[in-house]
């Protein structure tokens, strides 16, 4: 028996509601991702400003300078270098502490799994990751310096910001200060930055984005966090490293390979810049 179309059930309202629903879901996801980017930027800014205040008032106190004296004495180059190093070290320590404290407050006893310092639980989205054999990680570490330095030097030439070769550290720095600087570049910075980017930000973004989207998102944040007044040369030079770090985080499910590659890349760059000339 034919059914009168005027009284037939119409599925079009169901179909028409899918579009607005998807739009609302997409908008919520966009707002959440934007909020996550803002939170990362806030953490970096807060650590930097607090470190600046600590170094400013602490160094003035140690030097015997009046804290609120408007007529400040001129600093020697060695004092400036020491303050810059102290600022870098304290900023990274504060950033790492801020990330760990935030995750412990939000996630409780699961904070190590959130930061990929412990294996992921069986119910997590990345529990079925492919895995990363040690042999493949070793190959990546072996070839990465060549890839990294080729891209860094090429992007520097593209933006007309050449990288110095055969240079040296400031002659005013003592051996122990140079050791602190190396510790900052090879240990503190990789740990603190990876705790934030491939630890906290990756874990939160993974609940909103696909693995590829999460890797790209954290890579963009990592690159933009290294923006300087000189332009986009520095951020662009770090894009391949940031993408590889995200891939390692997804593939291995742990943070330590990211910290290792980050430190290895920094060491390759230092060796490239500081290696003495043949002559």
Q: How is the chain split into domains, by residue range?
A: 24-67+75-274
* pLDDT single digits (tens) 86-99: 999 999 999 999 99
Q: What is the pTM of this model?
A: 0.86
Query: 167: Cβ–Cβ under 8 A, 6 or more apart, which residues?
Result: 273, 274
Query: 92: Cβ–Cβ under 8 A, 6 or more apart, which residues?
Result: 47, 184, 188, 189, 191, 192, 193
Q: What torsion do the CA atoms of 270, 274, 278, 279 make, to the nearest 10 degrees? A: 170
Arithmetic mean of pLDDT over the chain: 86
pLDDT at 66 over 70: no
123: three-class secondary structure by DSSP: coil
Tokens representing residue 36 in the block? 């996550």
pLDDT at 183 over 80: yes
More confident of the two residues 218 and 233: 218
pLDDT at 200 over 60: yes
């Amino acid at each position: 028996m034919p059914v009168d179309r005027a009284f037939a059930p119409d599925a079009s309202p169901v179909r028409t509601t899918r579009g607005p629903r998807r739009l609302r879901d997409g908008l919520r996801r966009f707002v959440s991702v934007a909020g996550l980017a803002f939170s990362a930027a806030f953490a970096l800014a807060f650590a930097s400003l607090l470190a600046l205040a600590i170094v400013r008032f602490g160094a003035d106190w140690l030097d015997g300078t009046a804290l609120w004296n408007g007529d400040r004495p001129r600093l020697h180059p060695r004092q400036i270098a020491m303050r810059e190093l102290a600022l870098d070290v304290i900023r990274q320590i504060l950033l790492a502490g801020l990330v760990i404290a935030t995750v412990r407050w939000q996630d409780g006893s699961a904070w190590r799994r959130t930061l990929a310092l412990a294996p992921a639980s069986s119910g997590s989205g990345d529990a079925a990751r492919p895995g990363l054999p040690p042999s493949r990680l070793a190959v990546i570490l072996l070839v990465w310096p060549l890839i990294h330095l080729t891209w860094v030097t090429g992007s520097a030439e593209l933006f007309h910001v050449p990288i110095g070769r055969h240079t040296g550290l400031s002659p005013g720095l003592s051996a122990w200060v140079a050791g602190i600087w190396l510790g900052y570049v090879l240990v503190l910075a990789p740990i603190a930055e990876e705790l934030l980017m491939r630890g906290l930000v990756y874990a939160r973004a993974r609940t909103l984005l696909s693995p590829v989207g999460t890797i790209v998102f954290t890579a963009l944040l990592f690159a933009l966090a290294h923006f300087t007044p000189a332009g986009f040369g520095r951020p662009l030079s770090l894009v391949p490293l940031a993408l590889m770090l995200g891939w390692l985080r997804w593939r291995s499910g742990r943070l330590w390979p990211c910290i290792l590659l980050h430190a290895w890349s920094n060491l390759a760059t230092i060796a490239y810049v500081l290696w003495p000339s043949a002559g």
